Amino acid sequence: MEYSFNDIWRRLNPQGEFIRRINACGKLWGGLALHRRKHIYDTIQALKAQGKYVNPNPLFAIKDNDTAEPTDWNGHVLEKGVQYITAKYNGRWGLYSKEDVELFGLEVKN
């Protein structure tokens, strides 16, 4: 999946007056990094599948679910086959997967 604006717009399927939010939503969506778009889309899809609330205003639905963060694996059982790197997120050093380091552009400890 590409996580294009058309993908999220179809998933949200806004009704009534909210359809006019298309330009604002397109601008917001276009400015998000791929990992954030994926997280938002997957979160909204899961909420809808579970019958949980998703804001009917598509602009707020996108903003409300933009909660992607890298996982700090310090003190957790590490998964086999995953490469971990010491990196900084929000001013704190931690142990992150190589994928999260690349996705979130974390500062790596030399």
Domain boundaries, the chain: 5-64, 70-110
> For 32, which DSSP code?
S
Is the pLDDT at 68 greater than 90, yes or no? no
Reported as a single tens digit per residue, the pLDDT across 24-66 is 999 999 999 888 899 999 999 999 999 999 999 999 999 999 9
Strand order across the beta sheet in which 107-108 lies: 92-97, 84-89, 107-108
